[in-house]
Every structure is written in structure tokens, then in C-alpha cells.
Amino acid sequence: MVLWLVATAIFIAIRLIPGDPAEAIMGGPGSQASAEALAAARAEYALDQPVLAQYLLYLGKLITLDFGTSYSLKQPVTQVMGEVLPNTLWLSLLALAAAWLMALCFAAAATRSNRFGSWLGNLLEIIAAAVPHFWLGAVLIMLFSSALGWLPAVDNGSAQGLVLPVLTLALPLAGFLTQLMRDSLAEAMGSQFALAARARGESRLKLFWRHGLRHAALPALSLTGWAFSSLLSGAVVVEAIFARPGLGRSLLSAVLARDIPMVTGIALFSALVYILVMALAEGIERIINPAGDQR
Amino acid sequence: MSRTAKILSVLVVALWLLMAVAPSLLAPSDPLAINPTQAFQKPGLAHFFGTDESGRDIYTRVIHGAGDSLSIGLAATALGTGLAIVLGTVAALSPRWLDEIILRVLEALYAIPSLLMALLIIAFTGPGVGPAIVAVGLSTAPGYARLVRSQIRSLKNSEMLEAATVLGRGTWLKVKNHLVPNALKPLLALVTLGIGQAVIWAAALSFLGLGTPPPAPEWGAMLSAGRTYLHLAWWMSLFPGLAIVAVAVSATVIGRALGGKVKSL
Amino acid sequence: MQRNSRSSRILAGALALPIIGALIAGCSSTGSTDSTARSKEPVTGGTMVYASGDAEPSCLDPHVGGNYPQALVASQYLESLFTKDANGQIIPWLAESTEVSKDGLTRTIKLRDGITFTDGTKLTAEAIKANIKHLKDPNTASSTGYLAVGKVVSIDVKDELTAVLKLSAPDNALLESLSMPWTAIESPKALERDQATNCAAPVGTGPFKVKSWEHQKAVNLVRNEDYVLPVANDERASSTAYLDGITWRFIPEAATRYAALQSGEVDVIDNAQPDTISSAADAGLGHLDAPRPGSSNRIELNSSKAPFNDVKVREAFIRAVDANTGVSALFFGTAKRSNSLLSSVEPLAYSDESLFTTDTAKANQLLDEAGWSERDAEGYRVKDGKRLSLRFPVSTNQSVPAEQSLFEQFQAQAKAVGFEVKIDLLDLSSWYGALAKHEYNLVSAPYTKVGPSVLRVLYHSDSTVPAPSGYFANNAQVKDEKLDKLLTEAEETEDEAQRASLYEQAQKIVLEGYYVLPLYDQQNHFLYGKNVHGVGTTTAVSSPVYFDTFLDQ
């Protein structure tokens, strides 16, 4: 349902662009597309037919995963996406995992520390969440690549090349997740159940694992869909800065070249990813929290 | 959250507003004044934050840039909030089928992250301040709308409302005087949290070259220019970056102080 | 004969390394000061990593479209019929000899024997025919190559190695046109494939060949084991390249690209930023300065609409800005101010400094004379209620950050005398769109071509007529009958002295009409690591060829 809405929105948007829709598909008024190319575009998208016919054709193509041909790259969109997708997915998954790891560690540490440590940790989380990707990436490159020479600045195929980009993507998310978890954790650790357990002599750490973790994780889980999408968003900037091939970089060049078929493909794909991740997260949530109690 | 932090944040925000509205009070010189012979000066007494590649004073530009950067963030948030209130209220009060449709629309908007949404819009309209505002606004709307909707739904059955109905107040009046104001308080907290993010996304767009045109001292554009000279003049990147982080941080602190829970996003 | 028959630009005093032939022959190219290089014997082996700051081309065949990023990579696997020697003279390369009829309408080209393409096809006159046909075919969508062979009407194959070209008018720039990568010779068999396949791996005769193209990652080139140097070099130990291959990557972010060079992840970068060039020697990096031929980098003033339809206003703008200070400050001395329409590698470039000295008093005076004597509340001049406003679309693809900053400086300086300059930073597509719709008063659009015939492409009134796509090259909208005659004659005459004189007169007309503000040569700087040697050979369009390059093992 969501996909349908997004697809329809894009269809309408293309029709709304002033001027010839064939030109728009071919990259905008300055694309210098030849007359033959425009004619081919018209035929492919059935632009001479009534709007309803065009719309059905458009939907039909999408269902068969035919996003058309990228104007700027002269290749089928699905092919280009297929080539670059794994990189972005890999990067995002690693960043998600790293962010979760960091968040859990910090949240756990937060329960054990004193007032000052708690205040400091709070501040750091907020700062981390507020740092823009493009600034963080540049600073990390300066520090770890140019100045210290420990890590490579660009993708050279090695695992080392992944460290800085993953870190850049993961840090702001980690800050955000930590804040999230901390709230729930505080609630959980302060609840009747927790107090009773402490009274029984259970250690803080054990309590955290058995009880707190579930409660801390739940809100973070339900936001995983959103978190993953925001990682895809961040990937646009990170891939640009670290010169990594990926969906984000493709999207950026597609937008700059006004390559509508490419943009459409990527937009629909990210919507799809969001839905899948949400479904997955809901599934995990149900496993962790079968009783379905309120968080 | 300690009192000190809250007070500090309020002060910072007041400072930002001052910078946005009356920058000349804090930085009397012209942010656009070039001085090629004074290019790439380190931070010092003459130039607190140093100078850029055309000899422009960075301190002055950061102060004056507050207006540009903040206004985009605020405008986008305002758009998102307005949209959210309308959609959320309608959704909460309408029959089930309409509610479902609106929820799906919100879900669709939610599925596309802010920057991607901005890029999508820009792919169709071309770059500029307008598309940036629309894009960031649209992407923040769903989260707020959901909150408004759930607040209103729970208030729908509240006692206050029953009393109003008994007294014979019309639907419109009920909405205006009871539902909306009560839904707004938690929204305010959330929105404040969101302003910081909005400013960051706006700066990101400028960084990618899709925002305000030169020579405007917008923070994202300054960061973009600074990147080219990063190893030569680190101050060109550091200070605008700090400004962005500071705004986002203070917005977050205030938002949380107002009771906003991050998980409601 | 040595490989340095191709033109090479070596920055005097920099760490540019001499061509290997110099070691043995003992005659080095100018200005080489790197002592370590002299003692180095070339070693075979290793894959060089190259990082380009340009956008990844959409097609590796420079016949399609025809821009500089394509030329840079194609120079490794494609060769042209002619090239330039160290003195800037056009000499045969894949061709062996050439002659032209008395009336200038028939050009005969004889090819060298014994050269094959990497797909096994022999280089014959059929190839010349097939390639020129390919360039002229609308389906190929060639811009640069198409214009270059514009006067060729037909090609006859006289015998296996001889082709006869019939021209519509005498064209003394034809050989220059055939020396560019955009008219390079590809295998006719390969050209018969569909465009997508040919774009992914064009087949040529060059020292390298395309192994694969991983989009957004790299173009992988490998050594052409069957390479034959068209002009034999007996002093060279092997007839093939020293490098096993080249990994051609694209890193548009300048800071990242430079960081990668510093850390050794890449060996050579292009589009080096001015401040990194000036500190290259200290950083232990090599530097190759190879200004592109054709036009200089300049700002064109749109004389077809107000306010620049008045020559006084044009001169006022030019006098108001201070290009000298801006260029020297922003480019750290790596770019020299040019006052000519043509690149400094063009022997026929003419310049007159006095036309372009900054003089704000004169600028104000001219504007007053032109009727723009009133000012509005913000300090901008007005006339008949209209503000003196200029639109300046700037393409982030064409203008490096230093150039964008230079334009911002002009904006501020022009403001001081009352001009309002609006800079629009646009992506390439929107930029072309703005130009096509005449939505500009100022624009900077560099044009690379070998030889002064570029002046006709840029300033003849025919060039104001848009192609079907809307594109036209005469952005200054110069429509001067006398100029047109000079430019047409200059391309048809066989007398070198007359050609030089005609082009000088033509340049004078454009410069004195204040249609153009020349800035500097089209910058073409390359930086390379300590481990890289033998960099310096370039093609006629100043793109490096890495035939003599080798890496420390």
C-alpha cells in the first residue's frame, strides 16, 4: 500500500513538471537529448496515450521491476542498482550493528555511574546525535587518515576502508539510540519489579541483562525501520565523502543529472527496504516481548 | 537533566535568536566583505575565527549565517508541524476509513528518510531554498502527526470533552478550544527536538550544493567550502560545524526538558 | 625517434620527471631537476592507481559526447591519426603521411603498416572511413568529434592503407582536429557493436586496453601486450608499457582525493587543488602542469541582451573586477593570469594587457555615460526603473572551488560600482538548460580544442545558431561580419603567415569589444607519489599517457 502511494506520487510529480515529460525523463531541459531519444522515451512510456493508460503501464512495469533505463548511465536502472546496492546495504547493516553495540554499552554503563558520569554521558549522547555526517566524516579523515595515517581515507576494498565510514554513520545514530534506551532503561530499572529484584540481592548487571535489556531494546527496535532509513539517508553524504560506490552516491548523481528513472528506482527501493525492516523488527519485538506489554 | 543545563540551553537559544534577528549587534562588520590579501588567516585577535579563502571574517559569517540556517530549519519545522496538526486532527476525528487512508499516507511519507525525500523533490524541482524547506518539512510531518492523532484520540473520550458536549458546544469549537491545545503540549517538546535535526538536514543540502546560493554565509555552504581547504585552514570547517552542533544540542536539551521523549518520534 | 614526439608540458623547477629516453639519449626535456629520477632504470610491473576528480563518464568511447574526462582515460587505450610534437607541431602518428590538393578540397591520408587493434583487426583505411562515419552518425550523439570533422563530406578507400577525404571547403585545421582523443581511431569491428557494449570497452591501438568497468568503482585497464609504437624508439628496452595495468577511479571530493594520494592509496590524481600544488614539492609529490589547448578559461558577457548589449557596460564590468589579485591569491601562484582568448600553448595567442587593467574610477565613469547614473536604496544602479542586474549561472562540474570563490570576489567588487550579480550554482544539466534558454548575462564555459580554429567555434556568428539540442558555443553572442570573414578565411588559407595575421586581427576584435574577460589557462594539474616515475608524455590535448610510467617495486 505504501509502495503504491509512493509510486503514484512520483508519477504525478513527473506529470507536474512544466514542459515535455519525455524531456524530464531524459534529464531535464538541458540534457540535450536527441530527437530520436525523446521519441524512444515517448514510446516507452506511452506518453501519447491517455493518462490512465500511462498510469497502468507505469504500475505494470514497476511490478515486474522494470524501472526503465537510466538516462545518465545508459544502463537499465535495475542493473545499476544491483551493482551498487550490496555496498550500501553492507555499510548500513554494519553501521546499525555498531550503533546498537555502542548504544547498549553506553546505556549499560549509564546505569552504573554516578551523577556526574551520568550527566556527562547524557551530554555526550546528545552531542553525538547532533553531529552532522558531513562534518564528522571530514574530521575523522583529517584525524585518522591525514594526521595519524592509521586508516585509509577512501575505499580500497579492504576491511580497514570500512572503519571510518561505518563510524561516521554509526555515531550519530548511537547517540540517538542511547538516549532512547536510557529513558526506557531508567524506567525499567526503577520499576517495582527491579526494586524487588535488587532487594533480593540480584546484582545490577544481572538485572540489566535479564530485565532492563528487554525494556531498553523495545523502543529502539520499533524505531529500527526509521533508523535504517536514516542510515540510508546518511549514506548519501558518507558515500560522497569517502568515495564509496553505493546507492546514496548513485542517488546524488542521479538527482544532479535529473535522471528521473534512476531516482524513481531508488526511492521505491528505499520505501521497500523500510517496510521489510519494519516487518523484521516487529517480528523480533514479538519474540522478545511475547506478552506484548506496554513499553 | 540538571537545572544548569536547562538554563544554559535557554541562554544559548536566546543567543541564536539574537544572532538570527539582529546579527549586527554581535558582529558589526559585513559578512560579505572580501579582502583577498587577508585570506586564510588563523584565528586570532583580529579575526576570532580566522578568515576564509577570500579574506572574509568567519566569526562574522557564522553569526550572520545563523539567520539563513535557522530560518530554513524553523520554516521546515513550521511546515511539518502545521501539516501534522491538520492531518493528525482530521485522522483522529474522522471515520475509520479516512483515518486508515491518512495513516497509510503518513506511513508512506515516513518510509522515505529526510535527505532522500529532499533529493527526490529536488530531482523534480531543481535545487533551492524552497524545495529544501518543503522536503525537510514533509519528512518531519508524519512523526508529529502520529503524536497529534494519538493525543486527540485519547482526549476524544475525556471528561472535559463530555462536559463540553453536554453544554452544547459545536464540534468546531470543541476542536478549537479543547482538543488542539491539549494535544499541542507534547507536540511542542517533540518539535523542539526536531528543530535541531531540521537545521542539520538543511545544512546537509547546502553542503551537497543544493541549498542557498553564494555568497550567503549559510553554515552548510561554509562547511562545504571549508572541506576543500581542510588541511590548510581547519578553522573554516570547525566553527560553522560547531555552530550547527550547538543549535542541535540546545534544541534537544530544551525539548527533553519540556518532557519530550525521544521514542515518540 | 623518441616518444617525446608528443607534446609535453613540464613545470620548470618542479619535481616533474623526465621521459626515460632522456636517460639514454642524454637530452632531457626542459626543467627537470629531480636527480633521483636520472638514476632510475624503468622496471616492469605493478598496477598504478589513478584517481580522477571529474565525474565518471557515462561512456568510455570519446566519440560519444566528447568531454575532457573521457579524453583523460581514453588516451591510454586509443590513439589518433596525428599528434603534436615537443615544439607544438602537428606530426603523423597512426598516419604515416598526408597531402592535400591545391584547391584544398581533397585530403589524402596514408596509414602506417603493421598496426593492429586489440581485437586482432588490422588498422586499414577502412578504419578511417568507419570512424569518421561513426562520428557523423546522429545515433552516436557526438558533440566534439562531430564538429571537428564537420567539413568532411565523404571518404574513399583508395587502397589498403590510403584514404581520400573529400571536404566541403578548405580546412587547414583538419589535421589538428584529427589529433584529438575525440576523433581517435577505434576498431571498425568494435564500432559495429551496439553502443552500450562499445561504451563499456572501446577497442583501440593504445598501450593499454580496457579490461572491465565497474561502475562507480573503477575502470580497469591492462597492458596491451601487442602494442606497437607508431614511431619506433630504438632506445627503449621494451615496446610495451611498463605498468601491468591502471586502476582508474573517480573521487570527486578534492580533500578526500588528496588525502588518498598522501596516504599512498592512489598514485596519481588530477584536478589538484592550487594550495596542494604549491606545497607539492615539500610534500615529496611530483607535479605535472599541462595546460589544455584551445580557449583560455574566461568569462563571456552575453552581448545579445541588456545590459551587456552596450559595450560601455561590458567594459565597466571588466574594469570593476580585479582578476589579477584574485587569481594570484586563490590559486597560490599555480595559475598565471591570461589576457588572451587562447591557451598559452597555442602559438598564435594574442593578448593586450592594457585592455584589462582594473580601474574602478573608469568603470563608474563608463556606467554614468551609459545612462546608469542613478542608484537605488541598496546601492545598485538603476535606469528607467530597472536595476543593473546580472545573472551568472555557475556549473559546479566545470568550475573548481577556487574558481567559484573567484567569481564570488568579482561579485563583491562589481557590487562596489553598482552591479548586482546573482550567482546560481547549478548542476551540469540545469546549467546547459540556462544557457540554452539565454538565462545568463555572464558565463564561464571552457572549450578544449587543438589549434586556433577554436576561435571560429566560439566567436563566429554561425555558432549562435543552436543545435537541435539547444546547445551553442558562442556564449558571448558575438555577431560581427568582419570577424566572421576573418575567421572563415583563416581556416581556408594554406599560407601560415597569413593564417597567423588573420587570427591576430580576429582576436583583437573580440578583445577590444570587451565580449570576454580572460582569466587563466584551462588548468590541468596532476600530482603523483614518490613511487611513480616517467610521468610527462601527453597527447595533443595535454592529457597524460602513461606509456613510459613505472612504479617503484
pLDDT one-digit tens code per residue, B167-207: 766 666 666 666 666 666 667 777 777 777 788 887 887 77
* Chain A to chain C Cβ contacts (< 8 Å): 112
Indicate the burial class of C235 (C-beta count within 10 angstroms; 0-12, 13-18, 19 or more): middle
H or E stretch covering B107: helix B96-111
Residue C211 has pLDDT above 50, yes or no: yes
Q: Where are the alpha helices (DSSP H) in C359-475?
A: 360-369, 401-417, 428-436, 454-459
Residue C20 has pLDDT above 50, yes or no: no
Neighbouring CB atoms inside 10 A of B127's CB total 27
Question: 3-state DSSP call for residue C51?
Answer: strand
Residue C153 has pLDDT above 70, yes or no: yes
Cβ–Cβ under 8 Å, residues A154 and A242: yes
Looking at per-residue pLDDT, the higher value among A129 and C266 belongs to: C266
Dihedral sign for Cα atoms in the order B19, B21, B22, B28: positive
Q: What is the model's pLDDT at position A137?
A: 84
Q: Which of B39, B209, B213 is nearest residue C329 as measured by Cβ atoms?
A: B39
Cβ–Cβ under 8 Å, residues C132 and C149: yes
Q: pLDDT averaged over chain C?
A: 86
Q: What is the model's pLDDT at position A290?
A: 63
C402 to chain B: closest CA residue: B53
Q: What is the model's pLDDT at position A212?
A: 67
Q: What is the model's pLDDT at position C106?
A: 94
pTM of the shown model: 0.79
Peptide bond before residue A219 is cis, with ω within 30 degrees of 0: no
Decide if B215 touches C, using CB distance below 8 A: yes
Whole-angstrom distance between the N-terminal and C-terminal Cα of chain C? 28
Q: Which of A32, A249, A258 is nearest residue C471 as measured by Cβ atoms?
A: A32
A161 to chain C: closest CA residue: C265
B120 to chain A: closest CA residue: A263
pLDDT digits (tens, 9 = 90+) for A57-105: 777 777 766 666 666 666 777 777 887 888 888 888 899 899 888 888 8
Neighbouring CB atoms inside 10 A of C154's CB total 12
Q: Which of B32, B215, B225 is nearest residue C401 as measured by Cβ atoms?
A: B225
Neighbouring CB atoms inside 10 A of B200's CB total 29
Q: What is the model's pLDDT at position B185?
A: 67
Q: Write the Ramachandran bin of C482: left for phi over 0, alpha for psi from -120 to 50, otherwise beta.
A: alpha
Chain C interface test: which of A139, A142, A154, A249 (most C C-beta within 10 Å) = A154
CA distance B97 to chain C (A): 43
CA C210 – CA C119 distance, rounded (Å): 11
DSSP string for C444-475: ------SSTTHHHHHHSGGGGSPPTTS--S-T
Residue C123 has pLDDT above 70, yes or no: yes
Cβ–Cβ under 8 Å, residues C95 and C82: yes
**Contact assignment for B227 to C402 by CB distance below 8 Å:** no
Residues 6+ apart with CB under 8 A from B218: B65, B68, B69, B72, B203, B206, B211, B212
CA C392 – CA C410 distance, rounded (Å): 11
Provide, rounded to the nearest whole percent, the portion of chain B with pLDDT above 70: 82
**Contact assignment for A130 to B200 by CB distance below 8 Å:** yes
What domains are defined for chain B?
3-27+56-264 (1.10.3720.10)
Compute the average pLDDT of residues C79-83.
95
Compute the average pLDDT of residues A176-204.
73
Looking at per-residue pLDDT, the higher value among B151 and B76 belongs to: B76
Residue C289: pLDDT band (50, 70, 90) is very high
CA distance C141 to chain A (A): 8
Output the nine-digit C-alpha cell for C544.
Answer: 597524460
Residue C246 has pLDDT above 90, yes or no: yes
In order of A36, C70, C116, C212, C324, the CA distances from A74 in angstroms are 15, 15, 29, 16, 43
Q: Give the CA diameter of chain B.
A: 77
Q: What is the model's pLDDT at position A261?
A: 76
Output the nine-digit C-alpha cell for B198.
Answer: 531540521
**Contact assignment for B124 to A16 by CB distance below 8 Å:** yes
pLDDT digits (tens, 9 = 90+) for C94-112: 999 999 999 889 999 999 9
Compute the average pLDDT of residues B126-150.
78
CA C183 – CA A279 distance, rounded (Å): 55
Residue B51 has pLDDT above 50, yes or no: yes
Provide, rounded to the nearest whole percent, the portion of chain A with pLDDT above 70: 64
Q: Any bridge partners for residue C165, and if so which? A: C107, C155
Q: Any bridge partners for residue C425, and if so which? A: C394
Q: Which of C257, C429, C436 is nearest residue A257 as measured by Cβ atoms?
A: C429
Looking at per-residue pLDDT, the higher value among B13 and B238 belongs to: B238
pLDDT digits (tens, 9 = 90+) for C436-455: 888 999 999 888 889 899 99
Hunting for cell 592550487 — which residue is that? C274
Output the nine-digit C-alpha cell for A64.
Answer: 515486474
Cβ–Cβ under 8 Å, residues C118 and C133: no
Pick from A162, B4, A268, A73: nearest CA to C216: A73
Residue B80: pLDDT band (50, 70, 90) is confident
Q: Give the CA diameter of chain C.
A: 76
Residue A198 has pLDDT above 80, yes or no: no
Query: Which residue type does C240 have?
Result: T
CA C47: distance to chain centroid? Answer: 27
Q: What is the model's pLDDT at position C24?
A: 30
CA distance C104 to chain A (A): 33
- Calculate ∠ Cα A130-A95-B248, nearest 5°: 5
Looking at per-residue pLDDT, the higher value among B249 and C544 belongs to: C544
Looking at per-residue pLDDT, the higher value among C289 and A127 belongs to: C289
Compute the average pLDDT of residues C57-81.
91
Provide, for chain B, the percentages of residues in helix, strand and coil under a 3-state DSSP scheme, each rounded to the nearest 5: 75, 0, 25
Q: What are phi and psi of C480, to 5 degrees?
A: -125, 120
- Calculate ∠ Cα C316-C322-C328, nearest 5°: 155
- Give contacts of C422 with chain B, Cβ < 8 Å: 213
pLDDT digits (tens, 9 = 90+) for C291-333: 999 999 999 999 999 899 999 999 999 999 999 988 988 898 8
Residue B114 has pLDDT above 60, yes or no: yes
Compute the average pLDDT of residues C142-146.
82
**Contact assignment for A153 to C265 by CB distance below 8 Å:** yes
Output the nine-digit C-alpha cell for A150.
Answer: 592509521
Decide if A69 touches C, using CB distance below 8 A: no
Compute the average pLDDT of residues C479-492.
92
Q: Which of B34, B213, B231 is nearest residue C409 as measured by Cβ atoms?
A: B34
CA distance A186 to chain C (A): 42
**Contact assignment for C263 to A249 by CB distance below 8 Å:** no
Q: What is the model's pLDDT at position C120?
A: 93
Pick from B214, B238, B205, B229: nearest CA to B136: B205
Cβ–Cβ under 8 Å, residues C452 and C348: yes
Residue A252 has pLDDT above 70, yes or no: yes
pLDDT digits (tens, 9 = 90+) for A15-52: 665 555 566 555 554 455 555 666 666 666 666 666 77
Q: What is the model's pLDDT at position A14?
A: 64
C65 to chain A: closest CA residue: A32
Looking at per-residue pLDDT, the higher value among C274 and A54 belongs to: C274
Question: 3-state DSSP call for residue C166?
Answer: strand
Q: Any bridge partners for residue C544, and if so which? A: C538
CA C31 – CA A162 distance, rounded (Å): 42
Q: What is the model's pLDDT at position A22?
A: 60
**Contact assignment for C409 to B33 by CB distance below 8 Å:** no
Cβ–Cβ under 8 Å, residues C394 and C407: yes
Output the nine-digit C-alpha cell for C344.
Answer: 598559452
Q: What is the model's pLDDT at position C168?
A: 93
B31 to chain C: closest CA residue: C412
Q: Write the Ramachandran bin of A74: left for phi over 0, alpha for psi from -120 to 50, otherwise beta.
A: left
Looking at per-residue pLDDT, the higher value among A167 and B229 belongs to: A167
CA distance B44 to chain C (A): 21
Dihedral sign for Cα atoms in the order C542, C544, C545, C548: positive
Q: Which of B54, B231, B232 is nearest residue C405 as measured by Cβ atoms?
A: B54
Residue A162 has pLDDT above 90, yes or no: no
Cβ–Cβ under 8 Å, residues C345 and C291: yes
Residue C29: pLDDT band (50, 70, 90) is very low
* Chain B to chain C Cβ contacts (< 8 Å): 63
Query: Which residue type does C125 have?
Result: A
Provide, for chain C, the percentages of residues in helix, strand and coil under a 3-state DSSP scheme, each rounded to the nearest 5: 30, 20, 50
pLDDT digits (tens, 9 = 90+) for C191-208: 999 888 999 999 999 999
Compute the average pLDDT of residues C503-528.
93
Q: Which of C215, C249, C256 is nearest residue A153 as measured by Cβ atoms?
A: C256
Decide if A261 touches C, using CB distance below 8 A: no
CA distance B161 to chain A (A): 26
CA distance B36 to chain A (A): 26
- Give contacts of B114 with chain A, Cβ < 8 Å: 230, 233
Q: Write the Ramachandran bin of C85: left for phi over 0, alpha for psi from -120 to 50, otherwise beta.
A: beta
